[in-house]
Structure 1
Amino acid sequence: MKTHADCASCLMKRVLFQARLADNGTEFAAVQAGVREYARLMSPDISSAEIATHVHSAAYAAMGVSDPYLDMKLEADRVAEKYVPDAQSFIDSSEDRFAAAVRVSIVGNIMDFGMGIAIDSPDEFGRMFQSLLDQGVGSDQTEELRRLVEGCETVLYAFDNCGEDQFDRLLIREIRAMGKRVVGVVRGAPILNDVSLDDALRIGMDRELDRIVSTGGFCVGFSEGLMKEDLKEEMGRAGVLIAKGMANYESLSDMEVPLPVAYLLRAKCLPVASSLDVPVGTNVVRVEYR
């Protein structure tokens, strides 16, 4: 997805939010570094994820903190875990376990902090959980996703936010129950509140997956320049890449990848919603072939 003018204010809100999480007096320096990098790169022809990666890299350097979201990620895991039994009950009581698990995984995508378009703390999740579950999927290609999963041996599953991954594990269990090999993709370095290898291991995600690979480094979503051989190998082997969240959509939708991609996300901002041709706030399952 290419950069929109709306992305500037969103990114700077995020930079300020994370600088305040760092709580070391670097708010001005972080925003200044982010603004300079955004001004240097801003173009309607560049991926929004690519620009965001550079902006956050500059802001993190100014803050001098490698993982400003760590405490919030721990809290997100704790809060989300409380609702896993309810989510599991929803799946167990459904006539279509796969579709129910897909819906549950999308509900978790609201755990996206600091942009003013989702929630600003994990504790806000509880009051929204049931209403999000009841909302369902507004733009729904779950049947196409099911067909792809059924027709392959390996599924790649790209995580997005901490806390959200507590619900992803329920969908992963359903896919593995179908006899499929599932390989998880995590961020190659801590960035935002996204799932890194340490985050995945902390909640035991390695026990849910057949293998874990990473995006290769510090990046919003995926970066072709950072991909290592293990990820490329799994992309060539898998029958579908399930990509959670907006960052994965923003990056992958501009890349050439050798397999179908199924985006599971909540369209939380106007640029992403417009790109997907849905209203803001829509839960989406969208399959793209390359």
Structure 2
Amino acid sequence: MNALIDCIHCYLKQAVSCMEMANIPDERKKEVLYELMDFIKTLNPQDSPAYNSSLVLLKTYEIIQNNDPYYSAKKQSNALALELFESVRKKVFESKDPLYESLKAAVAGNVIDLGIKREFDIESELSHAFDFGFSIDDYPLLKKKLQNSKNIVIAGDNAGEIVFDKVLVEVLNQMGKNVYYIVKTKPILNDATLEDAKEVGMDKIATIVETGLGLLGIPKEFVSSQLKQLILNVDIVISKGQANFESLDEFEEIQDNIFYLLKIKCEYLAKKLNFKHGDLVLINGENLKKRK
């Protein structure tokens, strides 16, 4: 997915969010934003929004001299989600279709997006997801493909959100699946890292695989060769969140094995793909191609 003019204001909003987290004074924020505006002019519009966002974020970190401004916020998100974990897990495993309900829980966690929206109501999002489900729903196809699948990759997204992904992993484990869970090697926004995976216990139920990077999404050109080969050879990839959505389309040869699981938070993306802003989406990569 190529970046467009609509993405530029989001780059700057993310930069402001970083500076808020780092308690940068307002006057200094202005100076940083003016410097970033010049930097944004150098970005390649043919690159993905996730990749360009990463470059802007890393430039922001360099300027403000803070390589993980979201560290405390990630800890708080994990703690909040862990408080809700047992009740969510109980609801899922007592349902008629634990797999379907665990996917709803996982997508509800996608609201924990501190890059753009720093306030969220996770309990409300969970209730909405359980009650209304997906606007675009390729669950029957996913369920069918899982019947003959053994190895599953989940491309993780945010801290906090990773806790609700645990419920999905537990369901898949009970189905006899091997689950690989992808996290970032270095901090970027509030994306989950190995430290987060260990903090919430994901490492006890899934094989943790790092990207080798501190970039948003999973850019095929830059991730570790180990991860690239894993993605190309597993049976199914469940992609969480927008940055993974924007970058995993580079793995063109396996789109029929990828299922994108996210909340639509971008007006441009909604318009381009005929989604509605706020939609909860579970869509197969091949079906996604038909919407582009």
> Please, what TM-score do these two structures have when normalized by structure 1?
0.91
Number of residues of Structure 1 aligned to a counterpart in Structure 2: 284
Q: How does 1:239-278 map to 2 (within 5 A)?
A: 239-256=235-252, 258=254, 260-278=257-275
Aligned residue in 2 for 1:227: 223
Contact 1:150/1:178 (<8 A) preserved: no
Contact 1:72/1:121 (<8 A) preserved: no
For 2:103, the aligned partner's letter is V
Aligned residue in 2 for 1:109: 110
- Using the alignment, how far apart are the partners of 1:156 and 1:257 within structure 2? 16
- Using the alignment, how far apart are the partners of 2:68 and 2:59 within structure 1? 14
Q: Spell out, residue by residue over 1:26-77, the C-alpha distance to the aligned partner (whole angstroms, 9 max, x if none).
A: 523432343222222152x331112111111111111111110011111111
Q: How does 1:151-170 map to 2 (within 5 A)?
A: 151-170=148-167
Deviation of the 1:257 alpha carbon: 5.2
Aligned residue in 2 for 1:188: 185
Q: Judging changes above 3 Å, is the alpha-carbon distance between structure 1 residues 29 and 62 closer, same or farther for their aligned structure 2 residues?
A: farther
Q: How does 1:1-290 map to 2 (within 5 A)?
A: 1-25=1-25, 26-41=28-43, 43=45, 45-115=46-116, 119-121=117-119, 124-209=121-206, 211-256=207-252, 258=254, 260-289=257-286
- Using the alignment, how far apart are the partners of 2:253 and 2:162 within structure 1? 23
The secondary structure found in structure 1 opposite 2:252 is coil
Q: Judging changes above 3 Å, is the alpha-carbon distance between structure 1 residues 236 and 34 closer, same or farther for their aligned structure 2 residues?
A: same
For 1:191, the aligned partner's letter is I
Deviation of the 1:251 alpha carbon: 1.2
What is the root-mean-square deviation in Å for CA atoms of aligned residues?
1.9
Q: Judging changes above 3 Å, is the alpha-carbon distance between structure 1 residues 127 and 175 closer, same or farther for their aligned structure 2 residues?
A: closer
- Using the alignment, how far apart are the partners of 1:11 and 1:143 within structure 2? 36
The secondary structure found in structure 1 opposite 2:190 is coil
* Percent identity of equivalent pairs: 26
> Please, what TM-score do these two structures have when normalized by structure 2?
0.90
For 1:2, the aligned partner's letter is N
- Using the alignment, how far apart are the partners of 2:168 and 2:31 within structure 1? 41
Q: Return the structure number with greater helix share.
A: 2
Q: Judging changes above 3 Å, is the alpha-carbon distance between structure 1 residues 10 and 180 closer, same or farther for their aligned structure 2 residues?
A: same
Flag structure 1 segments of 5+ consecutive residues without an equivalent: none
Q: Judging changes above 3 Å, is the alpha-carbon distance between structure 1 residues 200 and 34 closer, same or farther for their aligned structure 2 residues?
A: farther
For 1:88, the aligned partner's letter is R
